[in-house]
A and B are shown apart, each in its own frame.
Chain A
């Protein structure tokens, strides 16, 4: 075990007592007997629950589908849960998650994998390069130097999203597109404890942000409010966004053994993302771009669906627009442009229906990254497109999951 218990985050499964009707379906369904009840509440034992979600679809109420990220050592006990009349608010620590990408699989020792609603492949594509994992822990991190910190969004845009370049000098830090690193902000929290680990997807390709250099880039959004819009200052994101060139950062990782791109030249990539969920997509696209520039034949197509509120808030908007259509088919969705109808990624996927369904008939790998709320719409759009094209999405999805061709990282 590389990380100490105090900073291991657990995605704890909880049941909302205000909505639960105590029908016992979840307890009957749970394959590992993690759910139990008293005369007052149904509760989940954090020590037993494996996050398999077998209980979720049979629950008639939706009360079962609550997941709070908590430090493992502070997981809610059964006794605490038995006493609840309502679900407690999400603890402060995970407020960083808007720009923290959860690792898939078991990359971070002792941590529960994220449990996306759209089931995700638990292994990498067959042709993916073999990743290095867990070379540096929180107890023994590697020190990187900030080589650059640039704002990606317009100066007057509401969200401050930055492109941060970290240099590893001569230290061993190999990476693949889609992997993550861990950052720990210096100092302690209000309780005097060290800050929790935050995960960030790497936005640069395997040969470095600057090709041939031992560096990487991150896409970091400055968190100034939580999901409900309440003012809150994200510890790690503000720390990273405020770093100056020459500052040093403690890094752990690399993490992530599944969310990797295929290496064979004729593999198509269908990428769907919102906001800073674009980081792994940028890494994969840039890797392919460099290969193409070197005239290494790549017959695989790239298709990208990218959502943000406004063009000014879309990271990598400028560089993206410069990529030729024959290299990548880009569809941008903006939900808050004045005088324009709101559009989400699923709308754009639907609009591009025939092209998407054609891609799905071939050797294609799907990557989804961004806010969890996008999953349902995306899955429905894919289902409807398939239906129109005479294909059965549920079985294709299942097949892609099994074949390491369907990857979801949402938060």
Chain B
């Protein structure tokens, strides 16, 4: 007999209470999910009452219900954005036809691969962040971490719903495997490399949520354009939650920079060692973390030239970022795109067919968006009267995927030798000493309204609450 009250426990707009097949699949999967959450979810947090935002439906009124909830009791719902009447496939060879409400047989394998790859990233970030609650710089930040955790969990549900609903036995097996792979597990790692990296400290967490969750924004946007309507609608709703994750990253780094600037000005110091001695993170270290997370994240977009990307586009499975807002033929045949490659020891541009360069198109859109936010961090430096400016490194820097994977390229985009790389890499990427220093600052601050020394308070609280609100009640 079912132990799940589908309408209450799993708020949904996919008619779950009427769908017996889906119920059976979820009844099998859900206990395993809860076991996974217990084993791999946020460490030592099961008793806390956390001020969480829970979606109970997809309307503006139902979208954000705030209240103190124990995370294991969070209502991981299954939501799709509201259906668009007579939606069409907007690109590729099927452009103009009705969007698919079911899986087209010929695209089954590719769609499954796309959904599994996206689904694999969601529990991965929960696993990567599982120890961070023990070193949160404030209750406000702890609450934000937990909000991200439960929403990543919900995004996993969203992908599992698609697998269960549309892919039969194959889908159920893939859904199980999503709980069996684990971030950083040498035998059974997560599919994408960035999701096997550690998130050991809060500076890394903010960088991850700024850069890597932004990859999520662009991937989800491209999938929201899909001709497979259930995938499109699912991703559209996920995007509204992804925004909060990016906010945590953008505002988190902004607050770290602000605090560092305050201390630099207070003591009239600039030397990184002196700045560190005051218990805040020096600006060059923040820049090195930025370089690392930016370069690891842009690898997530895949190889610069990809026939898979062309196939996905041609067949209407995965579009471009803001596909329907673009003013072209949405077929892209005969069109070209300029890529960078190394030739005779220098970076040069070359023209390739646009369809084969769609990973690069999405990566470049992503880079533009990332750079704009870094500009907003620089406004904080500018207002504080500091001359230091954060910059994103060249897109060929520190790459492990695509044409630059075996190259040594400086952050400025110069091809360099292995020896030069080794002599300068400590200036460009976080060293063990950098990470050890940042780790040394991590200590848990849980008194309402108090912040760790290395970070400024946020300008506004969550849901109009004051910053010193009891965001987490420790039981």
Contacts and interface: CB of A to CB of B under 8 A. Distances in A.
Do they bind each other?
A: yes
Interface of A: 18-19, 21-25, 28-29, 39, 53-62, 65, 85, 117, 376, 394
Contact of B60 (A39, A54, A65): A54
B460 A60 contact: no
A141 to B, nearest CB: 38
B296 interface: no
Contact of A61 (B240, B247, B379, B464): B247
Contacts of B372: 22, 39
A376 B469 CA distance: 12
B379 A19 contact: no
Contacts of A60: 243-244, 246-247
Contacts of A28: 236, 239-240
A149 B330 CA distance: 72
Interface string B113-135: 00000000000000000000000
B244 A376 contact: no
Contact of A21 (B247, B379, B464, B465): B247
A85 B63 CA distance: 30
Contacts of B103: none
| Interface core residue of B242, B250, B373, B465 (most chain A CB under 10 Å) | B250
B247 A376 contact: no
A363 B388 CA distance: 64
Given A18-B459, A54-B60, A376-B465, 7 more contacts: A22-B373, A23-B242, A29-B240, A59-B243, A62-B460, A62-B462, A85-B379
Nearest to B382: A85
A286 B192 CA distance: 70
A23 B240 CA distance: 8
A394 B240 contact: no
A57 B244 CA distance: 11
B449 to A, nearest CB: 16
Interface in B234-282: 236, 239-240, 242-244, 246-247, 250-251
Interface string B350-390: 00000000000000000001001100100100000000000
A60 B464 CA distance: 12
B217 interface: yes
Given A57-B60, A57-B64, A85-B379, A376 B464 contact: yes
Interface in B213-243: 217, 236, 239-240, 242-243
Given A21-B243, A23-B247, A394 B65 contact: yes
Interface string B304-339: 000000000000000000000000000000000000
Contacts, number: 62
Contacts of A39: 372
Contact of B373 (A19, A21, A56): A21
B63 A58 contact: yes
The 4 A-B pairs at the shortest CB distance, nearest first, are namely A60-B244, A23-B243, A57-B64, A54-B60
Nearest to B245: A60
Nearest to B369: A22
Contact of B459 (A19, A23, A24, A53): A19
A351 B379 CA distance: 47
Given A19-B459, A19-B460, A57-B60, A25 B240 contact: yes
B60 A55 contact: yes
Nearest to A376: B464
A23 B372 CA distance: 12
Interface in B448-466: 459-462, 464-465
Main secondary structure of the interface of A (DSSP, over half): loop
Contact of A29 (B60, B369, B376, B379): B60
A338 B437 CA distance: 47
Contacts of B379: 18, 85
B460 A21 contact: no
A189 B419 CA distance: 71
B198 to A, nearest CB: 25
B464 A62 contact: yes
B448 to A, nearest CB: 15
Given A55-B60, A57-B64, A60-B243, A65 B459 contact: no
Interface of B: 60-61, 63-65, 217, 236, 239-240, 242-244, 246-247, 250-251, 369, 372-373, 376, 379, 459-462, 464-465
A53 B372 CA distance: 27
Contacts of B369: 22
Nearest to A85: B379
A22 B371 CA distance: 12
14 contacts: A19-B459, A19-B460, A28-B239, A28-B240, A29-B240, A57-B63, A58-B240, A60-B247, A62-B464, A65-B464, A85-B379, A117-B464, A376-B464, A394-B65
A100 B373 CA distance: 40
A85 B60 CA distance: 28
A25 B60 CA distance: 11
B53 to A, nearest CB: 8
Nearest to B462: A62
B243 A25 contact: yes
A65 B246 CA distance: 19
B473 to A, nearest CB: 13
Contacts of B217: 23
Contacts of B236: 28
A65 B463 CA distance: 10
A23 B218 CA distance: 11
Nearest to A55: B60
Nearest to A387: B67
B246 A21 contact: yes
B250 A21 contact: yes
Contacts of A58: 60, 63-64, 240, 243
A362 to B, nearest CB: 26
Contacts of B250: 21
Nearest to A375: B464
Contacts of A56: 60
Contacts of A18: 376, 379, 459
A371 B212 CA distance: 41
Nearest to A61: B247
Contacts of B465: 376
B68 to A, nearest CB: 10
Contacts of A54: 60
Contacts of A62: 460-462, 464
Contacts of B243: 21, 23-25, 58-60
A21 B251 CA distance: 8
Contact of B251 (A19, A29, A394): A19
Nearest to B464: A376
B220 to A, nearest CB: 11
Contacts of B376: 18
A59 B239 CA distance: 12
A179 B66 CA distance: 33
B335 to A, nearest CB: 23
Nearest to A57: B64
A376 B460 CA distance: 14
Nearest to A40: B372
A401 to B, nearest CB: 11
A22, A23, A53, A65 — most chain B CB neighbours (10 Å): A23
Most B Cβ at <10 Å: residue of A62, A85, A394 = A62
B174 to A, nearest CB: 29
Contacts of B459: 18-19
Contacts of A57: 60-61, 63-64
Contacts of A61: 247, 251, 460
Contacts of B61: 57
Nearest to B81: A28
Contacts of B246: 21, 23, 60
A38 B373 CA distance: 14
Nearest to A62: B460
Contacts of B64: 57-58
B365 to A, nearest CB: 12
B445 to A, nearest CB: 22
Contacts of B251: 19, 21, 61
Nearest to B461: A62
